[in-house]
């Protein structure tokens, strides 16, 4: 009996002192969530798309000391801040809470129209630093500040050239369009119209690379002869989309064939 008691005591001692078991318990206590911000660069502004996700198996409640849920900074390559989201805003100082179910995401979009504010965005690389302003999650202070901060970079190019060496071959509804492209988002869209009717609906083309690297473009366009205009111009419209509203940018019309 004495041997059994000693054995039981030793097993309990190993259980409570085992680093592996302690780590498992610590992992269970650790709340899992992610926060990130992605900049979407447009010709006259930058949209910031932010998202907070509960990646755990239990609901999470985030507490904010004011109505400000996040701060966004844009720094140039020298480290100088050229944009601060909160600079021209007022926030209520009352406590705010957000509760997320497991796998639920809450998202926000903020817009910075740097042209209207007169900010000189010189060509080059910029860094976005976004910080979630929550101080507690489920009543506990958030100890890992890395989880609260998202860092990413974006490029303000000089003169944006998206297309080059576009060549059209073919006739009577069958065309091959080749060239070089480097869309900012890594994909292009196109439609084909005759000035009155849309003959090919919006179609997406993914490229192997994105700006500033060039990719080869090769499109096969086929339109039934019965749908070709008797008097008009067949035009391929190339373009990109940006932002949540899908704004068309970097449009490029390409004449496929003229009919008279």
88-100: average pLDDT: 93
Token digits for 28? Answer: 């269970």
Please tell me which residue, 110 or 146, carries the higher pLDDT value: 110
**H or E segment at 242?**
strand 232-242
Residue with tokens 């996040």, as numbered in its chain: 70
Tens of pLDDT, residue by residue over 228-237, are 988 778 999 9
Backbone angles phi, psi at 146, to 5 degrees: -60, -30
178 Cβ neighbours under 8 A, 6+ residues apart: 165, 166, 167, 169, 216, 217, 218, 219
**Whole-number mean pLDDT of the chain?**
83
**H or E segment at 2?**
helix 2-17
Per-residue confidence (pLDDT) for residue 155, from 0 to 100:
72
Among positive and negative, which fits the CA dihedral 74, 79, 82, 87?
Answer: positive
Task: Give the separation between CA 126 and CA 112, rounded to whole angstroms.
Answer: 14
What are the structural domains of the chain? 32-156 (2.60.40.2360), 163-259 (2.60.40)
Please state the pTM of the whole predicted model.
0.54
Looking at the predicted structure, is the pLDDT value of residue 12 above 60?
no
pLDDT confidence band for 146 (50 / 70 / 90): low
| Strand ordering across the sheet containing 33-41 | 33-41, 46-54, 105-112
pLDDT confidence band for 103 (50 / 70 / 90): very high
Per-residue confidence (pLDDT) for residue 174, from 0 to 100:
96
Token digits for 174? Answer: 């069958």
CB 41 within 8 A of CB 153: no
Looking at the predicted structure, is the pLDDT value of residue 30 above 90?
no
Looking at the predicted structure, is the pLDDT value of residue 100 above 90?
yes
pLDDT confidence band for 219 (50 / 70 / 90): very high
Looking at the predicted structure, is the pLDDT value of residue 184 above 70?
yes
Looking at the predicted structure, is the pLDDT value of residue 207 above 70?
yes
């Amino acid at each position: 009996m004495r041997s059994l008691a000693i054995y039981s005591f030793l097993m309990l001692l190993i259980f409570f002192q085992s680093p592996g078991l302690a780590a498992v318990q610590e992992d269970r206590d650790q709340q899992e969530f992610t926060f990130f911000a992605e900049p979407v660069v447009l010709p006259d502004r930058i949209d910031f798309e932010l998202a907070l996700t509960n990646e755990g198996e239990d609901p999470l409640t985030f507490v904010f000391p004011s109505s400000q849920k996040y701060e966004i900074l844009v720094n140039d390559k020298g480290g100088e801040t050229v944009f601060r989201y909160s600079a021209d805003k007022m926030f209520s100082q009352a406590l705010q809470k957000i509760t997320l179910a497991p796998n639920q995401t809450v998202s926000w979009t903020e817009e910075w129209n740097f042209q209207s504010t007169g900010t000189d965005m010189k060509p080059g690389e910029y860094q976005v630093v976004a910080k979630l302003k929550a101080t507690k999650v489920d009543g506990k202070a958030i100890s890992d500040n890395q989880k609260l901060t998202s860092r990413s970079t974006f490029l303000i190019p000089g003169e944006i050239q998206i297309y080059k060496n576009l060549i059209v071959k073919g006739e009577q509804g069958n065309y091959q369009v080749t060239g070089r492209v480097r869309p900012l988002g890594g994909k292009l869209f196109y439609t084909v119209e005759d000035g009155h009717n849309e003959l090919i609906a919006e179609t997406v083309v993914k490229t192997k690379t994105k700006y500033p690297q060039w990719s080869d473009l090769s499109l096969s366009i086929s339109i039934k002869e019965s749908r070709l205009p008797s008097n008009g111009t067949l035009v391929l419209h190339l373009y990109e989309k940006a932002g949540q509203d899908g704004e068309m940018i970097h449009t490029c019309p390409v004449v496929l064939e003229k009919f008279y």
